[in-house]
């Protein structure tokens, strides 16, 4: 504390430097630092003594430029939270860089030299102000994860392809986006977040959705459709039954009708619907998704007045969220099945007292729990031990 002059930034920087060294080397390190040191001295010392070829920049003040020449072996550059850092034009000199994190930096542009990072695997631009991606990124043939800013909905004009890309998030698709020989060559995506502009119509939309339906490795999908004013527009869907690895799906936009059961990904676990404007009760179909554990029906996903959860539905559901369904007047749950929950001590009586609730099925539950429930609500409780 005394050596750091009691200044918080100095304390953090010095502590960070010493944390990367063995305890017996601390005295030797401190001796190399002048008694009247400043924060910039510690950083210069860190660059010259860089052991692990990576550095986190969240502690560094904005006014400091990034000294590329001193960081030639750098592999990870994470600037998350640094407000508008000064990225140098010769960023490509960081030849060995694998990870470039610019999340929450509010940066408004990327230097063209970002395309000169031959080993870059991750480029994170979430929560920036970048509304145009340099076309030089198509040179990044080792890029695996590209996160764009969802709020800006950055267009990506595909002149070539990134065949090894696994994550593509925050992409905004316009009528100018190339499917053939562009997006269509990205066949190994695992995470995809994409926004359709309303002016993308007809064959363009069909080609896009067909491309998505063929992404056999896809695990997480976020689809959004909006018009030029930012309001939700019609969301086109395809047969997604072939997406056997897809477990998380979020749909934001108007659906003329809910996909049929055989159009849903067969192993979907987490499903979110928002702004869907469905007029027909979605529960009879959604309740048949056997692996579904989390269901979120958010703002205006359903605009009808009544939803009914049929018997034998939602067999694995753990979380149900109903948010901002302004026209919903009645929600009916007819059956709950609880099996082998040995530590469960109570069950909400308010649910059992609903007139529409028909049956609480208890399979292999503790005797005390069964007796407490059955004594008071025996006409609605079925006990099955097997």
Same domain, 102 and 38: no
C-alpha to C-alpha distance for 195 and 187, rounded to whole angstroms: 19
Q: What is the pLDDT along the chain (386 residues), one digit of tens a residue?
A: 555 555 555 555 566 556 555 666 667 666 666 555 555 555 555 545 544 444 445 445 555 566 666 676 889 899 998 888 888 888 888 889 999 999 999 998 889 999 999 999 999 999 898 877 878 888 898 999 999 887 665 555 555 678 889 999 988 876 556 666 578 888 899 999 998 876 555 556 777 888 899 999 999 999 998 887 778 888 878 789 999 999 999 999 999 899 999 999 999 999 999 999 999 999 999 999 999 999 999 999 999 999 888 877 888 888 888 888 888 887 777 777 777 777 777 777 766 776 777 777 877 788 888 787 777 776 667 777 65
Apex 109 CA angle, 105 and 115, nearest 5: 105
Structure tokens at 308: 């009914």
Same domain, 282 and 219: yes
Same domain, 78 and 213: yes
Same domain, 186 and 253: yes
CA-to-CA dists, residue 108 to 113, 115, 130, 335, angstroms: 15, 17, 4, 53
Same domain, 12 and 160: no
Same domain, 287 and 189: yes
Same domain, 60 and 45: no
CA-to-CA dists, residue 123 to 96, 140, 288, angstroms: 14, 10, 39
Same domain, 104 and 239: yes
pLDDT of residue 16: 57
C-alpha to C-alpha distance for 171 and 168, rounded to whole angstroms: 7
pLDDT of residue 154: 58
Compute how many other C-beta atoms are within 10 angstroms of the C-beta atom of residue 284.
Answer: 15
Same domain, 151 and 72: yes
Looking at 292, 309, 334, which one is the last position of a domain? 334
Q: What is the residue range of 202's domain?
A: 51-334
Same domain, 224 and 200: yes
Looking at 306, 334, 362, which one is the last position of a domain? 334
Same domain, 21 and 166: no
pLDDT of residue 52: 44
Q: Where are the beta strands (DSSP E) in the chain?
A: 54-56, 76-78, 99-101, 122-124, 145-147, 167-173, 191-197, 220-226, 248-252, 270-274, 294-297, 306-309, 319-322, 330-333, 335-339, 359-363, 381-384
pLDDT of residue 50: 47
Domain CATH code at residue 183: 3.80.10.10
pLDDT of residue 359: 77
Q: How many distinct structural domains can be found in the chain?
A: 3
Please choose, from the candidates 212, 109, 120, the residue with its C-alpha nearest in 3D space to the C-alpha of residue 152. Answer: 109
Same domain, 243 and 361: no
b/e 21-60 (16+ beta carbons within 10 angstroms → b): eeeeeeeebeeeeeeebebeebbebbeeebeeebbebeeb
């Amino acid at each position: 504390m005394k050596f750091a002059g009691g200044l918080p930034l100095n304390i953090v920087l010095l502590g960070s430097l010493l944390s990367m060294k063995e305890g017996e080397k601390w005295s030797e390190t401190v001796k190399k630092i002048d008694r009247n040191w400043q924060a910039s001295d510690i950083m210069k010392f860190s660059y010259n003594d860089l052991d692990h070829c990576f550095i986190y920049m969240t502690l560094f003040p904005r006014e400091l430029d990034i000294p590329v020449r001193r960081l030639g072996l750098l592999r990870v550059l994470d600037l998350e939270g640094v407000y508008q850092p000064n990225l140098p034009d010769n960023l490509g000199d960081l030849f060995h860089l694998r990870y470039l994190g610019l999340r929450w930096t509010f940066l408004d542009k990327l230097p063209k030299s970002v395309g000169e990072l031959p080993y870059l695997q991750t480029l994170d631009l979430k929560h920036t102000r970048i509304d145009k991606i340099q076309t030089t990124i198509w040179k990044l043939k080792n890029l695996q994860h590209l996160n764009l800013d969802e709020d800006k909905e950055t267009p990506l004009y595909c002149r070539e392809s990134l065949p090894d890309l696994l994550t593509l998030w925050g992409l905004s698709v316009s009528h100018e986006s190339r499917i053939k020989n562009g997006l269509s060559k990205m066949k190994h995506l695992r995470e995809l977040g994409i926004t359709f502009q309303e002016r993308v119509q007809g064959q363009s939309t069909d080609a896009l959705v067909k491309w998505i339906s063929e992404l056999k490795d896809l695990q997480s999908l976020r689809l959004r459709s909006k018009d030029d004013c930012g309001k939700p527009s019609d969301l086109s869907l395809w047969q997604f039954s072939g997406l056997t690895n897809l477990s998380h799906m979020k749909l934001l936009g108007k659906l003329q009708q809910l996909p049929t059961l055989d159009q849903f990904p067969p192993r979907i676990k987490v499903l979110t619907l928002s702004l869907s404007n469905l007029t027909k009760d979605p529960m009879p179909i959604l309740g048949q998704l056997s692996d579904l554990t989390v269901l979120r029906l958010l703002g205006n996903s359903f605009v009808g007045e009544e939803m009914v959860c049929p018997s034998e539905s939602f067999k694995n559901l753990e979380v149900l969220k109903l948010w901002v369904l302004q026209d919903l007047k009645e929600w009916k749950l007819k059956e709950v099945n609880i099996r082998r929950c040995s530590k469960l001590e109570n069950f909400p009586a308010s649910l059992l007292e609903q007139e529409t609730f028909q049956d609480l099925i208890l399979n292999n539950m503790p005797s005390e729990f069964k007796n407490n429930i059955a004594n008071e609500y025996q006409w609605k409780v079925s006990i099955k031990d097997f």
